Amino acid sequence: MTLTTNNGPDESLATAPSPTKAHRSGRWIEDWRPEDPEFWEKTGAPIAKRNLIWSIFAEHLGFSVWLIWSVSSAFLVAQGFTFTPQQLFFLIAIPNLVGALIRVPYTLAVGKFGGRNWTMVSAALLLIPTLSFAYFVTQPDTPYWTFCVIAATAGFGGGNFASSMANINFFYPARLKGAALGLNAAGGNLGVAIIQFFLPVIVGGAGIFGLVKASQGGIHLERAAWVYAGLAVIAVLAAFFFMDNLSNAKTDTKQQLSVLKHKHTWVMSFLYIGTFGSFIGYSAAMPLLIKLNFWRQPVPAVEGIGINFAFYAFLGALVGSVARPLGGYLADRFGGARVTLLAFSGLVVGTLGILFTLSQLQELPPPPDKAKLAEIAADPAAFQYPDAVRAAVESNADIFPLFLGIFLFVFACTGIGNGSTYKMIPAIFRKDAVVATGEGTPERELAVLDATKKSSAAVGIIGAVGALGGFLIPITFNSPWVTAPLDATKSAFTIFTVFYVVCALVTFTVYLRKRSGAKADTGYVGV
């Protein structure tokens, strides 16, 4: 059997018989053995690298579109829409809910249609949220419910992560999965930082730490949507020309869903809420948190006071994204469970630190009502900030460096935890295969391949459940049982701290605590 793509066979490579010889259209590789050192060195590595690069590009765009509302929601008022903070927090939560729910079908699609083929489809689907966003933000009479629907379609970008990770999982050998999946995920996660960094500049707002001033022509949110619609088209073309499908990644839905019966699928799902759910939830909420607690600007024509959220909101996602491959590397070296426990310990310390900084803040008076805003907009030169507002903003600005520093530490812990938990997933299923078969036997080879398929399916399930944290965190910041925004934020971080303590205990108990006698766990301790 030879390596076969739509470009024809490579006759120079003789390999063991492939499990399938059926002809397939498109770029299909019929024989793929990354665990074979010779095959990997001569043939596998370059192909895997090429697919990884373009997978990162498509996933990066998916994350950017997924989180486009995290920043644009803070600019909607400047665009002429009058939504309450409660409405805005819900608006940024909707894409995260949809993105979580569709991760399972997106993962299954890789096994059904092929990784390359589904990358093309998933990238094309990004045109729905971008083009609809571009149109409706220019219509001042657009109702809130319409924006909720558009925000829901932005969740398509969240599904890209699951299918991309499931696909790349097949391309790399076990010893490199942590680093490869970490790079793939980090490239996608960086989409959050990039959209939060460049969107304010693209739409005409101030940005890049104040080096770019706000445009005199006002805010134009549609510009960002047009940019990402164009990039989505490029992603479709790139997948078509440069990516491959793997025949041995083909599997049926029933086989993939069998991972639902594996108890560790649910344990890891719970832990992933604490790592990735925190990353995406904090990334979505951070711009609004800064704006509500550190910044005041009633209308765009009035100069704002305090800390401009557009200058700093992207930093959290950037730190979390960069830390993710570090988590994968550390997990490859020291074991995923140990690194995950370290990450949750850091999250406990970090959220306690944030609670301390919040206790030092003053509650900012609520923004003016609609009638007052109209009056200010009619004569902005006559507006003066009330002394109470100016004093509270200036006091909070002194606390902001500490708040930001601790929050970035929290983001770093989420990134490290993201990388380490995703290393644990294939390791758990591989240990199942190793324990059940003999070394060097054909059964071992088949079991390892089956484990790879199951771990790819598990990636989608775990990713879907974990991403629900991205919905729950913004909702918790808008706690309905607390009326004052600052008190709601304190209440939320108290809940998060307790949750991270539970996650740390689960990690230690299930994956690090050694048992003896009849309760000995020979399969998963130290993964």
pLDDT digits 0-9 by tens, 476-492: 887 654 567 788 888 88
Estimate to the nearest angstrom the gap between the alpha carbon of 31 and the chain centroid. 32
65-86 burial, b at 16+ Cβ within 10 Å, e below that, comes to bbbbbbbbbbbbbbbbbeeebe
The model's confidence at residue 57, banded by pLDDT at 50, 70 and 90, is: very high
Residue 298 three-state SS? coil
Rg value, the chain, Cα? 24
| Residue 296: φ, ψ to 5° | -135, 130
pLDDT of the residue at 208: 63
The owner of tokens 């601790």 is 406
Q: Is the pLDDT of residue 206 over 70?
A: no
Residue 116 lies inside a defined structural domain of this protein: yes
Q: Of 4-8, 224-228, 363-367, 432-436, where does mean pLDDT reach its minimum?
A: 4-8
pLDDT of the residue at 7: 43
The model's confidence at residue 207, banded by pLDDT at 50, 70 and 90, is: low
Query: Which residue range is the domain that position 354 belongs to?
Result: 26-368+386-519
Residue 17 lies inside a defined structural domain of this protein: no
Neighbours of 466 (CB within 10 A): 28
More confident residue, 374 or 135: 135
Q: Is the pLDDT of residue 58 over 80?
A: yes
pLDDT of the residue at 128: 96
Cα separation, 396 vs 400, in Å, equals 6
Neighbours of 220 (CB within 10 A): 17
User: Which residues have C-beta within 8 Å of that of residue 263, sequence separation ≥ 6?
Assistant: none
Average pLDDT over residues 411-433: 87
pLDDT of the residue at 2: 40
The owner of tokens 């609520």 is 366
Q: Is the pLDDT of residue 134 over 70?
A: yes
Cα separation, 306 vs 297, in Å, equals 9
pLDDT of the residue at 3: 44
pLDDT of the residue at 54: 95
The model's confidence at residue 304, banded by pLDDT at 50, 70 and 90, is: confident
Cα separation, 293 vs 357, in Å, equals 12
Q: Which of 320, 327, 323 is nearest to 342 (CA)?
A: 327
Q: Is the pLDDT of residue 406 over 90?
A: yes
pLDDT of the residue at 111: 81
pLDDT of the residue at 191: 83
Query: Which alpha helices (DSSP H) does 221-335 contain, by range?
Result: 222-242, 253-257, 263-272, 278-294, 309-334
pLDDT of the residue at 10: 41
Q: Is the pLDDT of residue 4 over 60?
A: no
Residue 18 lies inside a defined structural domain of this protein: no
Residue 332 lies inside a defined structural domain of this protein: yes
Token pair of 444 as six digits: 């071992």
Q: Which of 317, 322, 116 is nearest to 235 (CA)?
A: 116
The model's confidence at residue 19, banded by pLDDT at 50, 70 and 90, is: very low
pLDDT of the residue at 525: 67
| β-pair type (3-5, 8-10) | antiparallel
Average pLDDT over residues 431-442: 76
Average pLDDT over residues 395-405: 93
**8 Å CB contact between 166 and 400:** no
Token pair of 476 as six digits: 């918790």
User: Which residues have C-beta within 8 Å of that of residue 489, sequence separation ≥ 6?
Assistant: 289, 293, 358, 477
How many domains are there within the chain?
Answer: 1
Cα separation, 194 vs 379, in Å, equals 36
pLDDT of the residue at 218: 65
Token pair of 296 as six digits: 């005041």
**8 Å CB contact between 88 and 214:** no
The single-letter DSSP state of residue 306 is E
The owner of tokens 């704002």 is 304
Average pLDDT over residues 143-167: 90
More confident residue, 370 or 160: 160
Residue 273 lies inside a defined structural domain of this protein: yes
The model's confidence at residue 23, banded by pLDDT at 50, 70 and 90, is: very low
Average pLDDT over residues 255-270: 84
Residue 376 lies inside a defined structural domain of this protein: no
pLDDT of the residue at 515: 65
Cα separation, 158 vs 162, in Å, equals 8
Cα 201-476-182 angle, rounded to 5 deg: 60
Question: Of 98-112, 294-308, 452-466, which one has max mean pLDDT?
Answer: 98-112
More confident residue, 360 or 21: 360
The overall average pLDDT reported for the chain is 82
- CATH number at 230 reads 1.20.1250.20
Q: Of 6-15, 123-132, 380-389, 444-453, where does mean pLDDT reach its minimum?
A: 6-15
Neighbours of 32 (CB within 10 A): 22
State pTM to two decimals. Answer: 0.77
pLDDT of the residue at 117: 95
Average pLDDT over residues 229-256: 88
| Cα–Cα separations (whole angstroms), residue 43 to 33, 36, 240, 409 | 10, 10, 21, 40
The single-letter DSSP state of residue 260 is G
Residue 356 lies inside a defined structural domain of this protein: yes
pLDDT of the residue at 232: 96
- How far is the first Cα of the chain from the last one, in angstroms, to the nearest whole number? 35
Residue 126 lies inside a defined structural domain of this protein: yes
Cα separation, 307 vs 290, in Å, equals 7
Cα separation, 469 vs 275, in Å, equals 9
Average pLDDT over residues 60-73: 87
Average pLDDT over residues 314-332: 87
| Cα–Cα separations (whole angstroms), residue 102 to 195, 267, 442, 491 | 22, 20, 36, 30
The single-letter DSSP state of residue 438 is -
pLDDT of the residue at 273: 93
pLDDT of the residue at 216: 60
More confident residue, 226 or 7: 226
Q: Is the pLDDT of residue 518 over 50?
A: no
pLDDT tens-digit series, residues 71-84: 887 777 666 677 77
| Cα–Cα separations (whole angstroms), residue 501 to 154, 205, 345, 420, 525 | 32, 40, 7, 17, 20
